[in-house]
Copies of this chain bind each other. A is one copy, B any other.
Amino acid sequence: MAVTPPSSSTSSSAALLPADDFAVATPAFSPLYQQIKGLTLQSLQSGEWKPGEAIPSEMELAARYRVSQGTVRKAIDELASENLVVRRQGKGTFVATHAEQHVQFRFLKLVPDSGTPGSEGPAQREIIECRRLRASADIARALALRTGEAVLLARRVLSFAGTPTILEDIWLPAAPFKGLTAERLADYHGPMYALFETEFNVRMLRAEEKIRAEAAIDGRELLLKVKHGTPLLSVERTAYTYQDVPMELRRGYYRTDTHHYHNTLN
């Protein structure tokens, strides 16, 4: 079980973790590398290594957990494929970050119809408002809060080449983001998720989107400077941190006259 000297070999099925000697519901065979992955995940979540930093080398981790390098490798492979960690040959393995990541907006799939993503230069941002309020039933459900709990709401417009293109409302649970102000948001240059990492120790790892077509009404036509009733892409995104805990709900309206949402299916 990864602690025995070189006697016969392997074994695996036994536990490295506390495990379930009692109350076994499912035999639940868990490969060693999955356990290593879980432990590494815990270290990531606990902040033992910060975003952008290197984690210990495969050899070090192998020694720490008393397993072979190959087993650590497989664990880290999975973390890398989930974008929690980035491997760099010859340098090390690094905790993924939304900052300095050559793709500035990892979760934004809106691209210009012509030209490469980012060819329009950086987006101009304008914070319309930033308030603290109580979660309505649907917001609370999306953020796994109770109705009435405190949330922050930021509304902003992103413009490309001077054309307002994205209008979004961003809901955040107030507790983890204590102290976030409109000024802080407005002054920060760089991806919002990078600010969340450095200031609030909140890492967005994964997101789900629900996309619909909706007419520009209720003032959205004014903020995006389109005619009343213009079809817009409605993108509702829930972003999750460790343990699949939702930490952000974003309701965006995208103009699709000069841009489109790009997706790849495998």
Contact = CB atoms under 8 A, between A and B. Distances in A.
Interface residues of A, number: 31
Contacts of A109: 263, 265
Interface of A: 81-83, 106-107, 109, 206-215, 229, 231-234, 237, 254, 256, 260-266
Contacts of A210: 260-262
Contact of A265 (B206, B213, B234, B254): B206
A262 B209 contact: yes
Given A213-B233, A214-B231, A263 B266 contact: no
A208 B265 contact: yes
Contact of A211 (B107, B214, B215, B261): B261
A68 to B, nearest CB: 13
B211 A233 contact: yes
A184 to B, nearest CB: 25
A212 B107 contact: no
A256 B260 CA distance: 17
A110 B61 CA distance: 43
